[in-house]
Amino acid sequence: MKTIELNKAQQLVAEGILLSDADRQKLQQERLHELVDYVRQHSPYLAKLYAHLPETYSLTDLPITKKAELLENYNDWVTDRELNLEKVLSYVGREASKANELLLGKYSALKTSGSSGNPLPMVRDDHRNKIHGQLIGQRLCGRMDPDFLNIRKNRVATVIHTSNGASSYEAAKRILVANPGYEDNFLCLSVLDNINHIVEKLNRFQPDSMTGYPSVLVQLALEQQKGNLKLNLKALASSAEMLTEENFYLLQNAFNCPIANNYCMTEGGEIAMTHNCPHLHLNEDWIIVEPVDKDMNPIGETDEWSEGILVTDLSNYVQPIIRYYVNDVVRIKRTPMACCPLPQLEIRGRVFPTYTIAGNTFTAAALVTKSEV
């Protein structure tokens, strides 16, 4: 298990954003080699996969990994010999009342959404959790109240899929279990509900902060501008769908509060995020993203959209994600921007339309709920 002191994690994340592009990429490669050297000693599966690496290797010498093969070899993939798939699945499926327990007394773990029918459990060690926690705290929420989602200090509303088994809903239930006595400070609304009902419930609840999918948040912003919704938010966070620049400014103007948008995944963590701006900036000091073509060949930083990406998380030593294939469509731009020195990552994601039926407005996100949970 790799650990790190909190003040050291704070320092590393703070320093990373100040480096030049060249120094940041040099540091990235140093961290890559440190990670690969570690896993070759502690992961039987990756040691075998990397057995024929040249003495001096680069990123592209490392084999591409995919979920199916990693799942098949799970027990030899993880670097802690005490871990196995049965234990991890038992942990992630634990009762909500045990939300605060750690796996083997030292790890956190959760499961991908499994929209393909084959969810992947991911174990996270102390090193990974503190680094990614600082990425969120310093970069995503650096100009926001760090406790804007803490229901012990703020009233928080979320508009999500509320079906049992949906990862966001399971997380919401665990928030309640972890904060007994503060249930009245948390409102979980269903994306299946129509906008009029959501507006009515939010007006009664009066949250300090709110999270949801852009398609829902945009409709709520329009209701706020019409005067039907009357919220005074400290902060707003979007996830799951693509938040366009136009809609970022719509939310900002309607609610007059900081907007946070995070491109993340269970496997790779916090990949890119906004810095009080509409643009996603790649955390390249800790995450490597390689845009690839349909044959999984890296295409580099071009104006062309990728056919997928390879993700490497340089912080997770217990369940290493190295050149892991994901079918997201992105492109990376290194043009300097005033808002943040990190490269810009553009993602071509889902944007759900809305429909009005018999006077009731719904987002199309509601129509795909059953296929996603």
Query: CA triplet 185, 191, 194: central angle to 5 degrees?
Result: 105
Question: What whole-number distance in Å separates Cα of residue 204 and Cα of residue 192?
Answer: 19
Residue written as token pair 């496997």: 267
Note the pLDDT of residue 117.
55
Q: Looking at this protein, which amino acid is placed at residue 290?
A: E
Token output for 368: 């795909």
Query: Which of these, 360, 95, 318, lies nearest to 219 by C-alpha position?
Result: 360
Nearest Cα to Cα of residue 359 among 194, 240, 242, 218: 194
CB 154 within 8 A of CB 208: yes
Report the 3 state secondary structure along the chain. Answer: CCCCCHHHHHHHHHHHCCCCHHHHHHHHHHHHHHHHHHHHHHCHHHHHHCCCCCCCCCHHHCCCECHHHHHHCHHHHCCCCCCCHHHHHHHHCCCHHHCCCCECCCEEEEECCCCCCCCCEEEECHHHHHHHHHHHHHHHCCCCCCCCCCCCCCCEEEEECCCCCCHHHHHHHHHHHHCCCCHHHEEEEECCCCHHHHHHHHHHHCCCEEEECHHHHHHHHHHHHHCCCCCCCCEEEECCCCCCHHHHHHHHHHHCCCEEEEEEECCCEEEEECCCCCCCEECCCCEEEEEECCCCCECCCCCCCCCEEEEEECCCCCCCCCCEEECCCEEEECCCECCECCCEEEECCCCCCEEEECCEEEEHHHHHHHHHC
* pLDDT recorded at residue 177: 84
pLDDT of residue 219: 95
Model pLDDT, residue 287 = 98
Structural domains of the chain ordered from first start: 6-76+109-139+265-347 (3.40.50.12780), 155-241+351-372 (3.40.50)
pLDDT for 112 equals: 72
pLDDT of residue 6: 96
Q: How far apart are CA 48 and CA 52, in angstroms?
A: 8
- Strand-pair category, 156-160 with 209-212: parallel
For each successive 10 residues of the chain (373 residues), what is the average pLDDT? 94 96 96 97 98 94 97 97 95 78 91 65 94 92 85 95 68 84 95 93 98 92 97 91 89 95 89 92 97 95 94 98 96 90 84 50 46 35
pTM to 2 decimals?
0.85
Structure-block tokens of residue 161:
């899929």
| Token pair recorded at residue 295 | 């044959």
